[in-house]
Amino acid sequence: MKITRLKELLSRKSSQKFIPEIDALRFFAIIPVMFAHMSQAFLEYNVNFDRALIESESLLREICFRGNIGVELFFGISGFILTLPFINLKRSELKFKKYFLRRLIRIEPPYIIALILFFVVHIVMGSESIGFLWERFLSSFFYLHNLVHESYSYILPPAWSLELEIQFYLLMPLFLYLFKAFKFKYWRPIVYAILLVVALNLNVSPHLELSDYFKYFLAGIVAADVYKNIKLPKHIIWDVVFTAGLLLFFFYFEDWFLRTLTLFLILIASLHLVLLRQMVTNKWVTIIGGMCYSLYLLHFPFYHLVMKLFTNKLTIFSTYEMNFMFQALIFIPLSIVCITAFYLLVEKPFMVLSQRYGKSKVPKKVE
């Protein structure tokens, strides 16, 4: 009974249609990212290993590093969930006031609270001047750090991808209007092709920008279109596609076309699983996936803090691999437990609030 109540407490609340496979995909995105950043923090603070040597020779380090690709999976998920409620509406039915209100209440407060928290931490640590930190804080506050400073957010490094998400949120309604500009049967595929070509050839900034990653959002958009309009039977072949797709996406494909196509197939396959569905949509998997926003905001500074304090004290084996896995098995679960408090006290209340004030009868939404 206590476990049931705990699961209920931790479960993400939504007044809209809930697709557990989407939270499962979030789990498969956030866990590799957490391992990647844990590995990075370990090598930054552990004085017992040669970082250059480990990064050039360790297979485990290479596997962990590839976990950063989970961010691209997040982009595909965003393209899917934000497009799905609107893809089949008529142009006259497209109303975005509720959409923007929900995004604002859902995303902004947790981000601002986390940003302020680590702004204060940086001041206390005294690593940079107040003026330097204030300038970076303002750039991150207005989601401009990538463009202004051509680097990851100094205050909250994971925010670099959130800046791109916000740009997509703002542009998505324009894409939907474009999709519905004409009733010509093949107009939407033509628009998809045009958007992909533009994204691949548009460079506004020498550093991070939406066009660098738009192909992954586009994979999600097309997946939502297919999911909504093409009836695909559930079959064990999708289990094979899903499993192989994740492995190829994270560890093999470098070519942008193959990676984008694989991301599209992962999204579609996850929604048509047979043998793997019960395992993939396990309650704890979807709970962790459902709190991925809190985990994403806070895990990076958490790992740098605990590695700075404890990694050398807990180095008890002779190899990098054994020591990293030993510490990862301690601090990755610990980070989930600790960040759960932020999820319950900050993210989830605003999640519920966004549903209350942003609820719309038409269209139905997933999140």
Structure confidence by residue, pLDDT tens digits, 80-89: 999 999 998 8
pLDDT at 183: 83
pLDDT at 266: 97
Mean pLDDT computed over 115-119: 93
Q: What is the pLDDT of residues 301-319, one digit of tens each?
A: 999 999 999 999 999 999 9
Where does the pLDDT of residue 336 fall: very low under 50, low under 70, confident under 90, or very high at 90 and above? very high
pLDDT at 363: 45
Q: What is the pLDDT of residues 132-189, one digit of tens each?
A: 999 999 999 998 888 888 888 889 998 899 999 998 999 999 999 999 888 888 899 9
Return the minimum-mean-pLDDT range out of 3-7, 51-55, 114-118: 3-7
Mean pLDDT computed over 314-340: 96
Mean pLDDT computed over 227-250: 95
Percentage of the residues of the chain whose pLDDT score is greater than 70:
94
pLDDT at 204: 62
Where does the pLDDT of residue 17 fall: very low under 50, low under 70, confident under 90, or very high at 90 and above? confident
Percentage of the residues of the chain whose pLDDT score is greater than 90:
65
pLDDT at 192: 92
Side-chain half-sphere CA neighbours of 274 within 13 A: 10
How far is the first Cα of the chain from the last one, in angstroms, to the nearest whole number?
28
pLDDT at 366: 46
Q: Is the pLDDT of residue 360 over 60?
A: no
Where does the pLDDT of residue 290 fall: very low under 50, low under 70, confident under 90, or very high at 90 and above? very high
pLDDT at 365: 46
Mean pLDDT computed over 92-98: 85
Where does the pLDDT of residue 237 fall: very low under 50, low under 70, confident under 90, or very high at 90 and above? very high
pLDDT at 246: 96
pLDDT at 145: 87
